Amino acid sequence: MKISSPEKQSGPLFFSVRLRMSVDVTGFISFVENWMLFLNIFIQFTIID
């Protein structure tokens, strides 16, 4: 499937804005939780080394 250039230019921006609005609350919470988990693992590995 080929995407024409005007669709390419307007599509991602609109998609990201729409995605942000729909995912803002629940997605942000899960994003923070994932980062906390990742940071905890990363800190443990750096302390072990």
Q: Where are the domains of the chain?
A: 21-49
Q: Return mean pLDDT, the chain.
A: 73
| pLDDT tens digits along 10-25 | 567 766 766 666 656 7
The CA distance from 10 to 12, in Å, is 6
DSSP structure class, residue 2: -
Which H or E element spans position 34? helix 5-48
Confidence tier at 4 by pLDDT (50, 70, 90): low
Amino acid in position 10: S
